[in-house]
Amino acid sequence: MKTWPGSDNSHYFHGKHDKENTNIEDELIRRHKLCSCDPCIEGLYHNCKSNALDKGLWYGYKEVKRMVCEAVKEVALTRAARTFEELQSWTIFQKPQSVLQKNNVIAVRVHAKDRSLTGEAYYLAKVTSKVRQLKEGGKFEGNWYDKGFYVFGATWYHYKGTALAEKGKVGDRHYCLGTAPTDKCTLQLNGVVTGINSFSFKSTSTKKGRDKIFVLSDSDHDTIMMKGTLSV
């Protein structure tokens, strides 16, 4: 079965079922964008505070019940399989040292239950070692991984604030690469944000002769938020 055009850009699916009248076709609602307002973080998507400003957050599609269930399952399976295989083949996970520093950035999902604490939907990291499949489970840099998991070494970038663009609009985001032992970590491959074409740091500069500043453009930030698989 084929999915409908454009479904790969969707973040979230929600089915509405009328228990009282089973003759009415159920409605499948899909969400195009990610929102970090308080109701959305708690999973109360219909109370989204952004709907008043952006009516494009929700789209409803009438489908028969059987088709609704199959469509959601099909999208989930095809996206997961395709993006996971693609990730393993990326040069950054095979030969990380050969990738230019400006292009070595990856976005890592912040788990849904932790977003209310951080206020961020993703973190940025630099890949430092090849991806490998674990021959046995264990604890690596504070995280437990089971046997067979695909993991890689990385170092966190630290968010240093957002510059202001013209007329007070939000502009580019600034980061620096962590240097403390706690900034080095082991990450699971399927924790990386997928669903986006590609992104890299817009530019780098040296601040006060010490910290190198990495600049993520506001457009790349929007791409990650709108097209990345962040709903975990």
Q: Using one digit for the tens of pLDDT, what is the confidence trace for 41-65?
A: 676 766 776 654 444 454 444 445 5
The predicted-structure confidence for 162-210, as pLDDT tens digits, reads as follows 877 665 556 788 899 999 998 999 998 888 888 787 788 988 877 665 6
Closest CA to 173 of 122, 208, 97, 114: 122
Mean pLDDT of 214-225: 87
Contact of 65 with 28, CB cutoff 8 Å: no
In the structure encoding, which two tokens stand for residue 103, read together? 């292009």
Confidence band, pLDDT 50/70/90 cuts, at residue 5: low
Q: pLDDT value at position 126? A: 94
The predicted-structure confidence for 149-162, as pLDDT tens digits, reads as follows 899 999 999 988 88
Name residue 143's beta-bridge partners: 140
Q: pLDDT value at position 56? A: 47
For 200, residues 6+ apart whose C-beta sits below 8 A from its C-beta are 102, 103, 105, 220
129 pLDDT above the threshold of 90: yes
27 pLDDT above the threshold of 90: no
Q: Could you tell me which residue, 24 or 210, shows the higher pLDDT?
A: 210
DSSP state for residue 110 in the 8-state scheme: P
The predicted-structure confidence for 71-125, as pLDDT tens digits, reads as follows 555 555 556 666 788 888 889 999 999 998 888 899 998 877 777 766 788 999 9
Listed in sequence order, the DSSP H helices in 56-144 are 65-89, 91-94, 115-118
Q: pLDDT value at position 98? A: 92
Question: What is the pTM assigned to this prediction?
Answer: 0.64
Contact of 105 with 90, CB cutoff 8 Å: no
